[in-house]
């Protein structure tokens, strides 16, 4: 019998959720995703210290420029090891500033092009705030593809689809974490997992209304969550869970496909006022979006401290 991982790959594009270059070389995914936490972790290993020092000298110890340069460096190194695209995240401190996000994204695309990387191989990763989604709209109109991340609800997904975003990343596992705390229970079966159910709702809405935006489930806590979403457009999975599925021979079946029967979900175009009202009325999204942005900012700050210690 073929492995569970290979079965999944026949239904869904499997993306590696890591900045670890050795893991990417070993796993050989089509695409790869990174975030500030993964970049910081990758660059904190001893082997990268000479690169950090060289980049500090190159930018005269300007920490923000150094971190941006290192982010592109990791992205280009990943692209040498895969055939597809890499997601590169804009500084999370800009998550509520549309213009600054667009400016930074254009700088990243230019830096990639200077390194010989075609923009078609890059997804600009932006938090799914209203301002971030509008930045994505502007970038998509310029032919720059975006991955809207930290997505926790249908309201965010609707706004992304309306902005014709290339790809969104619903955070399945973080929703489950919130559910466990909110319901004060640990053992939640996958058929009651609000992260899984939320992604299925988004998938249903997008397919019903023929949106081009792709869905990439992210932030998984278990193989069960992953297999419950077999057939989703893409799934970005950590190396440990990819490795686990590579050793399994569990027979799986497709759970999502575009022409399946769905509960009817009326199409809704959100303006900023309605979007903000729906997000503010949703304590889970409000909390997780803020915590996610804060976590990415903290990861960047940790890398900055590491760099300062080398000056």
Q: What residue ranges define each of the domains in the chain, with the CATH number in brackets? A: 4-305 (3.20.20.70)
pLDDT at res. 38? 82
pLDDT at res. 84? 96
Question: Which tokens in the block code for residue 59?
Answer: 């930018």
DSSP assignment of the chain, as one string? ---HHHHHHTTSEEEEE---HHHHHHH--S-EE--HHHHHHHHTSGGGHHHHHHHHHHTTT-HHHHHHHHHHHHHHHHHTT-SS-EEEE--GGGTT-HHHHHHHHHHHHHHHHHTT--GGGEEEEEE-SHHHHHHHHHHHHTT--EEEEEE-SHHHHHHHHHTT-SEEEEBHHHHHHHHHHHHT-S---GGG-HHHHHHHHHHHHHHHTT---EEEEB--S-HHHHHTTTTSSEEEE-HHHHHHHHT----------TTS-----------HHHHHHHHHT-HHHHHHHHHHHHHHHHHHHHHHHHHHTT-
Q: What is the pLDDT along the chain (311 residues), one digit of tens a residue?
A: 699 999 999 999 999 999 889 999 999 899 998 888 888 888 888 888 999 999 999 999 999 999 999 999 999 999 999 999 999 999 999 999 999 999 999 999 999 999 999 999 999 999 999 999 999 999 999 999 999 999 999 999 999 999 999 999 999 999 999 999 999 999 999 999 999 999 999 999 999 999 999 999 999 999 999 999 999 999 999 999 999 999 999 999 999 999 888 889 999 999 999 999 999 999 999 999 999 999 999 999 999 998 999 98
Q: For residue 94, give every residue at least 6 positions away whose Cβ sits within 8 Å of its Cβ, in sequence order, or none.
A: 100, 101, 104
Compute the radius of gyration of the chain from its Cα atoms: 19
pLDDT at res. 42? 85
Task: Give CA–CA dist 234/209, Å, rounded.
Answer: 19
Active site residue 25: no
- 188 CB neighbour count, 10 Å cutoff: 15
Task: Give CA–CA dist 188/297, Å, rounded.
Answer: 31
pLDDT at res. 261? 86
pLDDT at res. 44? 85
Overall size of the chain counted in residues? 311
Rounded to the nearest angstrom, the gap between the alpha carbon of residue 272 and the centroid of all alpha carbons in its chain is 23
Which among 154, 158, 198, 155 is positioned nearest to 174, based on CA atoms?
198
Of 58, 65, 125, 298, the active-site residue reads 125
Task: Give CA–CA dist 24/285, Å, rounded.
Answer: 31
- Please state the φ and ψ torsions of residue 91, each to the nearest 5 degrees: -45, 120
pLDDT at res. 35? 82
pLDDT at res. 33? 87
Question: Which tokens in the block code for residue 260?
Answer: 């399946």
Task: Give CA–CA dist 274/7, Å, rounded.
Answer: 41
Task: Give CA–CA dist 40/20, Å, rounded.
Answer: 10
């Amino acid at each position: 019998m073929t492995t569970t991982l290979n079965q999944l790959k026949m239904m869904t594009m499997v993306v590696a959720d890591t900045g670890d270059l050795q893991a990417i070389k070993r796993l050989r995914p089509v695409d790869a995703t990174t975030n500030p936490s993964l970049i910081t972790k990758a660059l904190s290993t001893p082997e990268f210290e000479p690169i950090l020092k060289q980049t500090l000298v190159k930018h005269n110890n300007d920490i923000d420029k150094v971190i941006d340069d290192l982010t592109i460096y990791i992205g280009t190194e990943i692209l040498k090891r895969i055939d597809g695209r890499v997601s590169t995240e804009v500084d999370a401190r800009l998550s509520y500033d549309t213009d600054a996000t667009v400016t930074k994204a254009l700088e990243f695309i230019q830096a990639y092009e200077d390194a010989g990387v075609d923009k078609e191989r890059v997804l600009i990763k932006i938090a799914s705030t209203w301002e971030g989604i509008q930045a994505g709209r502007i970038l998509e109109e310029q032919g720059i593809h975006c991955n809207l991340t930290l997505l926790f609800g249908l309201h965010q997904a609707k706004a992304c689809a309306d902005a014709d975003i290339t790809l969104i990343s619903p955070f399945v596992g973080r929703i489950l974490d919130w559910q466990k705390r909110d319901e004060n229970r640990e053992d939640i079966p996958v058929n009651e997992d609000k992260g899984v159910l939320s992604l299925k709702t988004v998938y249903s809405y997008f397919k019903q209304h023929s949106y081009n935006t792709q869905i990439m489930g992210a932030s998984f806590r278990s193989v069960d969550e992953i297999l419950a979403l077999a057939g989703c457009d893409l799934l970005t999975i950590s190396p440990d869970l990819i490795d686990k599925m590579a050793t399994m021979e569990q027979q799986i079946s497709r759970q999502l496909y575009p022409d399946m029967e769905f509960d009817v979900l009326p199409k809704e175009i959100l303006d900023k006022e309605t979007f903000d009202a729906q997000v503010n009325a949703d304590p889970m999204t409000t909390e997780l979006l803020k915590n996610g942005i804060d976590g990415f900012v903290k990861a960047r700050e940790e890398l900055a401290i590491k760099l300062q210690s080398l000056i």
